[in-house]
Structure 1
Amino acid sequence: MKAKFEKVPESTDSSFISFLYEKENFEAPWHFHPEYELTYIIKGKGIRYVGNSVQNFEEGDFVLLGSNVPHCWKDTNSDSKSVKSIVFQFNDTFLGQGWMEKSEFRYIKKLLEKSSRGIKFNVEASKKFSKKLINILNKSSLEKLLSFVKLLESLSAIKSHEFLITDGFVPNLNHKTNERIHRVYNYVHSNYYKKIKLGHVSSSVAMSNEAFCRFFKKSLNKSFFTFVNEYRINRACELLIETNKQVSQIAYECGYESLPFFYRQFQKFIKTSPLEFKNRHIASKA
């Protein structure tokens, strides 16, 4: 996916940007911007791309992203007619020059440093802060700023969270590189359910098979077919949760011709079996 630079408009009446996003779809392309971004999903489900991470998201998804981390949310639920999220965007100077060097903000500074790998907060944090996030939007300017700083301080105290981006990944913001990644992502999105041939993908970006494999590995710190299987397994997880289809049918619909290979890939990425995953999800909603 092409990581498009996004110019975040400066607010004339606030030190940071905060808004409620509500449309039919998440329309933003894969993009990056110098501002940090805190996003909470109120309504919608699909696949979230952050750096070299490909994961499902659903209501309650709560993520903090660092400066210039490429990202986008793509909803895949055709039954839903709208999506909704709360978004906060802020830069290094939203509290003035050098504020992060003050001892009062040392824990927030550590949180923002870690956000360069993308932070997904756990379910407990999502439930705890959901109403507070909405309340912040409705406050006056000064109250909004103070409440937001307190929110960051509270988030910095959370010990259990997930890093989205793997060690060793460095975002490449080169236009040509990201244009190629953009084409590859679109190809996988459109063809994941059938056999994907390396030659077709490499020719779509005008590269030889060998050159393309080196390029993709260098760009995302994972092989192309690792990415394909990661994408397919995420789509399989969606179908396991949302339908009553047999595992074998889901495997086939996600592009797997071999059921044993599907089970191995599912175990690799999800760390459990498909049925165990489904049962855990059902139990968590009971």
Structure 2
Amino acid sequence: MKAQFEKISYKQSSLHAFTYKNTDFDAPFHFHPEYELTYIIKGKGIRYVGNNIQKFEEGDFVLLGPNLPHCWKNTHEFKGTVKSIVLQWNDDLLGKDWFEKDEFNNIKLLLKKASKGILFNKKYSKKIERKLTKIINKPPLEKLLCFLLLLEELYTLDDIEILTSVGFSANLNLKANYRIDTVFDYVKDNYNKKIKLEEASSLVSMSNEAFCRFFKKSLNKSFFTFINEYKINLASKMLIETNKQVSQIAYDCGYESLPFFYRQFQKFMNCSPLAFRKTYLKADL
């Protein structure tokens, strides 16, 4: 059974810094009391942070606060090894209330924003891989000092995106978190066909009505909104990376009605599928 609460072992270090490499990002939708800074070196798919769902690719650079549910999930289209750099630390990194000191005020403000999740602009994130690699490979004291300077630098960046909505509250307990992860895996494995509410609710042993209330309370969006958001994210990826016709992409993402697909795409992407594809083709010129 997949763990829903992640226990991070620090051994004797204040900062847990490592490179993750695997055939897949296999962690479930999980949470832990530590802050986390994650940089994606290789991999493409969907990133979940609280009630935020977005595509991710190489260069994705995110700072998360304590107990903020999250995971990265590869889409089926991505083939190959995934790789990321991860830094994790607790509130008592330098002792109790360390960021209340004047010299750490900027870091304190940065970490406060991290409670909602921060996505850094890719123009900056492309420059960060070398810095993060150096931090991982340095002796303990140098590692800590370089890390603090990195946090100070991140505070100065104004081109950031706050990931979760204002009303989101990360109040998932272990049982609820297991249910959400089960549903995520179900949608990931069945996005290319019609997903039935009855099947999803039965996976977590709930009635349809109870499941809908639970899902809306957990992610601040309905189950069917989540499904369409997931499918449209995949469709937008296919529009950029393949030459498939729009109708074929709609079918591949499980849409039986092309007009409904167009309405959903307009809803989530604020443009038509063809306009979306043309915009990205122009950007690559």
Q: 1:28 to 1:184 in 2, by over 3 A?
A: closer
Displacement of 1:42:
0.7
The aligned counterpart of 2:8 is 8
Letter of the structure 2 residue corresponding to residue 208 of structure 1: S
Q: 1:79 to 1:184 in 2, by over 3 A?
A: closer
In 2, the alpha carbon distance for the partners of 1:92 and 1:200 equals: 41
Describe the superposition over 1:225-267 as per-residue Cα deviations: whole angstroms up to 9, x where unpaired: 1101011011112211221101111011111122222122112
Q: Could you say what secondary structure the match of 2:280 adopts? A: helix
The aligned counterpart of 2:90 is 91
In 1, the alpha carbon distance for the partners of 2:78 and 2:185 equals: 22
Moved more, 256-265 or 59-68: 256-265
Q: Could you say what secondary structure the match of 1:169 adopts? A: coil
Matched, 1:219 2:203: no
Letter of the structure 2 residue corresponding to residue 127 of structure 1: K
The aligned counterpart of 2:163 is 164
- Sequence identity of aligned pairs in percent? 63
In 1, the alpha carbon distance for the partners of 2:196 and 2:78 equals: 31
Moved more, 70-79 or 246-255: 70-79
Please, which runs of 5 or more residues in structure 1 have no aligned partner?
Answer: none
Displacement of 1:212:
1.8
The aligned counterpart of 2:60 is 61
The aligned counterpart of 1:233 is 232
Q: Could you say what secondary structure the match of 2:151 adopts? A: helix
Describe the superposition over 1:149-173 as per-residue Cα deviations: whole angstroms up to 9, x where unpaired: 1110111111121122122121233
Displacement of 1:197:
2.2
In 2, the alpha carbon distance for the partners of 1:164 and 1:8 equals: 24
Please, which runs of 5 or more residues in structure 2 have no aligned partner?
Answer: none
The aligned counterpart of 2:37 is 38
In 1, the alpha carbon distance for the partners of 2:178 and 2:21 equals: 28
Describe the superposition over 1:183-213 as per-residue Cα deviations: whole angstroms up to 9, x where unpaired: 2222212222111222232233332222221
Q: 1:22 to 1:176 in 2, by over 3 A?
A: closer
Displacement of 1:276:
2.7
Q: 1:147 to 1:77 in 2, by over 3 A?
A: farther
Q: Within 5 Å, give how 1:187-206 maps onto structure 2.
A: 187-206=186-205
Q: Could you say what secondary structure the match of 1:32 adopts? A: coil
Q: Could you say what secondary structure the match of 1:87 adopts? A: strand
Q: 1:283 to 1:136 in 2, by over 3 A?
A: farther
Q: Kindly indicate whether the alpha-carbon contact (under 8 Å) linking 1:34 and 1:67 is maintained by their aligned counterparts in 2.
A: yes
Aligned length: 284
In 1, the alpha carbon distance for the partners of 2:284 and 2:140 equals: 38
Displacement of 1:3:
7.0
Displacement of 1:112:
0.8
Letter of the structure 1 residue corresponding to residue 25 of structure 2: F
Displacement of 1:22:
1.6
Displacement of 1:78:
5.0
Q: Within 5 Å, give how 1:14-163 maps onto structure 2.
A: 14-76=13-75, 78=77, 80-163=79-162
Q: 1:180 to 1:15 in 2, by over 3 A?
A: closer
In 2, the alpha carbon distance for the partners of 1:50 and 1:31 equals: 10
Displacement of 1:21:
1.2
Moved more, 238-247 or 179-188: 179-188
Q: Could you say what secondary structure the match of 2:177 adopts? A: helix
Moved more, 154-163 or 257-266: 257-266
RMSD: 1.8
Displacement of 1:272:
2.5
Q: 1:219 to 1:54 in 2, by over 3 A?
A: same
Q: 1:81 to 1:277 in 2, by over 3 A?
A: same
Q: Could you say what secondary structure the match of 2:138 adopts? A: coil
In 2, the alpha carbon distance for the partners of 1:258 and 1:97 equals: 57
Q: Could you say what secondary structure the match of 1:31 adopts? A: coil
Q: Kindly indicate whether the alpha-carbon contact (under 8 Å) linking 2:44 and 2:78 is maintained by their aligned counterparts in 1.
A: no
The aligned counterpart of 1:259 is 258
Q: Could you say what secondary structure the match of 1:173 adopts? A: coil
Letter of the structure 1 residue corresponding to residue 8 of structure 2: V
In 1, the alpha carbon distance for the partners of 2:215 and 2:234 equals: 21
